[in-house]
Amino acid sequence: MFEYTAGGVPIKIWVPENEYYGHPDLAKQMGNLSRLPDAFHHVALMPDGHPGMGMPIGGVLACRENVVPAAVGVDIGCGMAWALTDLDADSVDVQEIIEEVYLNVPVGFAGHDHSDKMPEALEDEFEKVFRGFFGHRDYNEWPEKARSQLGTLGGGNHFIELQKDSNGKLSVMLHSGSRNIGLRIAKMFIKEAADYCKE
């Protein structure tokens, strides 16, 4: 970790210096972040940091009195999960697993054909969560698109990773995208925030 100032609160960086300064946009965005009037104590950049829309992905900002909607973009609702299996990592055919993932997990804008009805418990949960976000605003337009994206990965920096832990067991780490539903929700609430600020 190294630290410096750019005219605002201190900037703490967990990215190697050569990588950090090798991305001029990264240093510029962190400098801008540190000079925000409401920035509290310091701003930070985590090891996975890379340039974002307004502030870097992997950037951390605490504010005294404000909320900054979509500071790192509008892909809200990404998922992170890690699962430890009881399999010995050296006993599995990693290439076979990778091939199965490529065959069965759509990426980018692709989706599944979920023409079969979902299990009732999942259908109920889906309905509850989806209506909770959208209410009556544009609910009818999105359920089928959302259904097609269940069990998909997304694009960009989203990944499925096989890992071997210190005991030799296989684990799986997942970083899934919000698959455009996050973008839709973010835009809805950003508009509400903007309208509120005009009052």
Confidence band (pLDDT; 50, 70, 90) for 40? very high
As a whole number, the mean pLDDT across the chain is 84
> Which class for 81: exposed (0-12), middle (13-18), buried (19 or more C-beta within 10 A)?
exposed
Q: Residue 164: what pLDDT?
A: 95
Cα separation, 197 vs 144, whole angstroms: 33
* Per-residue model confidence (pLDDT) at position 80: 84
pLDDT at 153 over 70: yes
pLDDT of 67: 77
Mean pLDDT of 87-102: 95
- Give pLDDT, residue 114: 66
Note whether 80 and 72 are within 8 A (CB).
no
User: Tokens standing for 130?
Assistant: 């989806």
Per-residue confidence (pLDDT) for residue 135, from 0 to 100: 62
pLDDT of residue 50: 85
Write the CA distances from 173 to 142, 158, 159, integer angstroms: 28, 11, 8
- Tokens 């940091």, residue located: 49
Contacts 24+ apart (CB under 8 A), 25-32: 25/51, 26/50, 26/51, 26/56, 29/54, 29/55, 29/56, 29/59, 30/6, 30/55, 30/56, 30/59, 31/6, 31/7
Proportion of the chain above pLDDT 70, given as a percent: 87
Distance between CA 65 and CA 40 in Å, rounded? 9
- In angstroms, the CA 70 to CA 72 distance is 5
Q: Can you give the pLDDT at residue 115? A: 61
Task: For residue range 100-144, list pLDDT tens digits in order.
Answer: 999 999 998 888 876 666 677 777 777 777 766 666 555 555 667
CA distances (Å), 128 to each of 20, 39, 174, in order? 43, 36, 24
Parallel/antiparallel/unpaired status of strands 57-60 and 43-50: antiparallel
What pLDDT does residue 145 have? 73
pLDDT value at residue 39? 95
DSSP state at residue 125: H
Res 186: pLDDT: 76
